Amino acid sequence: MSTDRDFTEFYLATYRRLVGQLFVLTGNRHDAEELAQEAFSRALPRWAKISGYEAPEAWVRRVAFNLAFSRRRRALRGAAALLRLGADRSHDDDGTDGVAVTEALRAVPVRHRQALVLHYVVDLPVRDVATELGVPENTVKTWLRRGRQQLHAALRVDESTGTSELLAHLRP
């Protein structure tokens, strides 16, 4: 099988899953799609090497998550600069941010959110989450516990929507 064909099959098999994971992480479908495209475009020239990895999808996901975090850091620096200048921040809302779970996830610190996404959305065991994030397993367990607690606290605020039942399996 050719390298291009192999990459195309990999892309088709994993793109939607990665976009879903990035959507949970970022809360914005458009951003998730852009980040996934960028991660795959970085994988393509290295595909001969990456395809030999035990988990090439994890490599692409790591790149996409790093891109998301870099984008967030740049946005925060830009917002801080605007605030220093006394400018008002505008919010770009494309309507996808109305989902209660997504809003609750936004309140969770980035590292906790990343652990939650990898463990509950990507379905990685704690050991693999720790490897992917480069931290000890106990750190991941702590982040998962704190993240679950923060999610439950945020979702309880709006129990009338029934959204908290979506995360019933994430008992603190």
Residue pair 105/24 in contact (Cβ under 8 Å)? The answer is yes
- In the CATH scheme, what is the code of domain 99-172? 1.10.10.10
What is the predicted pLDDT for the residue at 62? 94
pLDDT at res. 7: 95
CA 79 to chain centre: 21
Quick one: pLDDT at residue 85?
41
| pLDDT score for 101 | 66
pLDDT, position 4: 80
User: What's the pLDDT at 92?
Assistant: 44
pTM of the predicted structure, to 2 decimals: 0.55
pLDDT in tens, 67-103: 988 877 766 555 454 444 443 334 444 443 335 666 7
Is the torsion defined by CA of 147, 148, 154, 155 positive or negative?
positive
Show me where the domains of the chain are located.
Answer: 1-93, 99-172
The pLDDT score that the predictor gives to residue 75 is: 63
Residue 78 confidence (pLDDT): 53
pLDDT at position 150 is 86
Q: Which residues of 49-83 are buried (b: 16+ CB within 10 A; e: fewer)?
A: ebeeeeebbbbbbbbbbebbeeeeeeeeeeeeeee
Q: 166: Cβ–Cβ under 8 A, 6 or more apart, which residues? A: 101
Q: Residue 116 burial (CB < 10 Å; 0-12/13-18/19+)?
A: buried
Number of Cβ within a 10 Å radius of residue 20? 16
Joined tokens for residue 40:
């795959």
Which residues of the chain carry a pLDDT beneath 50?
1, 79, 81-98, 157-172
